[in-house]
Structure 1
Amino acid sequence: MATVIHNPLKSLGDQFYKEAIEHCRSYNARLCAERSVRMPFLDSQTGVAQNNCYIWMEKRHRQPGQAAGQMYTYPARCWRKKRRLHPPLDPQLRLCELRLEAELAPKREVPPGEATALEALLRGDSLLEKKNSFNKEEETLLEIQRVLEAEENGDGFHDDEDFELDTPKRKNRNRGKNRGSRRRTEPVNIDDQDKPYVCDICGKRYKNRPGLSYHYTHTHLAEEEGEEEKETEMAPSPPQSSDNHKPQKGPDGAVIPNDYCDFCLGDQDSNRKTGQAEELVSCSDCGRSGHPTCLQFTENMMQAVRTYQWQCIECKSCSLCGTSENDDQLLFCDDCDRGYHMYCLKPAMTQPPEGSWSCHLCLDLLKDKASAYGEA
């Protein structure tokens, strides 16, 4: 017994089939029209890099087939030079080209019989149409060029950490501003989602609250104290600028410390804030120096920094692993000013503690006089 094959389209009806075909044709026409005017792009449908081309024909260009098996034929297109991305912007140059093409157009051979509007457009017979087409292309290319220039200008702004004034270092420190920090350029105002904590005075952003507290204590509080103590004489320029500071080394390779304070610009004979003589504390890595009172050192710190190679805030590294990476994880002792990565401590810490914190060395040495016990 023969199997009867039913056409599933018959159940849908001819009208539904015609509408589906018409919708498909309309969608393909819109898709092809959109692709024909774009710059090269990656098609999300096919994963192919599409490029602008001139193979698209319209229904009015159809002609009867000329060979066996041909349903339609289309007029042949001449070769077309690829359009440049940056055309000459001088309109007079383009008008000269259009006049030259208009003069040469009548001399061209007219193909027999099947001259169409498409071929006439390609040959340049209509100067007005070609000029209008060029104006549209020029506007499109200028718009693309403006977008590309805007993107190139936007790429210049990289990670805003390259423009930071200070890196957040410690929590709840009541000491001087930016101990030995470089004076860098102000950061560009970029909304960084990774730095939700914003200073309400200067708008500087930080990744965590300890960094914001450190910035406020060492920048704005120190500036307020400096305004209260007005100096009677102008401070002379320092021997060397702190910008792009390069440490000076002696013949034995040791760093030569600066003989002036990086904050008040005084020396060991005179602190310009207090007016008294005070010994300078120098960084063992870069040679920057500062008065303990300018750094707002406590009594415990003044004694501790003489027992090891102290580092300024720019050169600070972890005392356990010896690296300065992940400086936002550095925790600083309030008794000796040593730095420790929170993940290097035993047991490791995930969040900085509230209030003052003392390292294990200071806890063993100072016992109940450590800062951690002082606030308890």
Structure 2
Amino acid sequence: MTEESRDVDLETLTVTSGEWLRGTGPDSDIVVSSRIRLARNLAQFPFPPQADDGTRMEIEQVLRRRVESLSCTGRLGYISVDSLDQLDRQFLVERQLISREHAETHGPRGVGIGSEENVSLMINEEDHLRIQVLRSGYSLDECWNDINRIDDALEEHVTYAFSEEFGYLTSCPTNCGTGIRASVMLHLPALVLTKEIQKVFQALQKISLAVRGLYGEGSQAMGDFYQISNQVTLGQSEDQIISKLKEVVPNIIAYERRVRKALVKENRQRLHDQVSRAFGILQSAQTITSEETMHLLSSVRMGINLGLVEGIEIPTVNELFIHTQPAHLQKLRHEMLESAERNVARAAYLRQRLARQEPHEN
């Protein structure tokens, strides 16, 4: 192990927050985070779906050595994902550090994680390597600069599978070309409340942008969070793909802000009542599901940004969205819990975290 690498203690992660949850980035009232992911494969090995465990182990050894020796990312930690139990794998998914596919696949695999949790490098997911950079707020350019630097540093030491005709070769043909997936996580409660969100979906579909839930492909939208990302990677440059998102996202941000202002102007009292009720339930519930928690926290998060709630900050709400998820809750309690038990434990955790907070109308 190099001086720059370390083993990651999952227990310490339960009481910290990644940079992307801190609400410090540009336009973070609407844009929770920006993310860019690159799919890469080594030229001399079969793609992971065709590789046996012996080959996967060889791939992991080659890439782990390179990941741990990276000097452009700050201090990196490493986790052997195949050695984790199901709860710890789900914990990393909730943390946005690995994908669901990485958690659920088989054989030797791992992930390198930056100390700020804004860099993760998944080894032996659907592709040999998935590089991810995640940042708070609307920060696509910063994400691209970071990930491009990491990709270049790795490519100095390994040979990627590349075709002059098709670009970077990947397990799934839809990722060929640049291998890039650029996305932003938006919080759009006002558009959901007014049912204007369908207009946004239809407009995005027409220009080949995908809309997914909190945990990406195949996940449902929870807490009014939506990931918007490119669908096409072949035939376009990285700059073109990122520019397309950058043309669209500011319009959605402006749309959400306009609708929020209209809601306050039309009936501030009713909106304040909705936010206060949501806050009150979170402070006093004796049992609460993950889905209801997300819905209520969404109202409170909007209320903070509209000046309807004082005494609680956006980073706290962002953290609660993650810490009340099933795996986080069980890690915090240091015990396995059935669904009904998790609902009771979640309510107790929320009461503890929000005990001294009071809603307030300016």
Classify the TM-score, shorter chain: under 0.3
Greater relative CO (CA pairs within 8 A, separation 6+): 2
Structure with a larger share of its residues in helix: 2
Structure with a larger share of its residues in strand: 2
| TM-score (norm. length: structure 1) | 0.22
Which one has a bigger Cα radius of gyration? Answer: 1
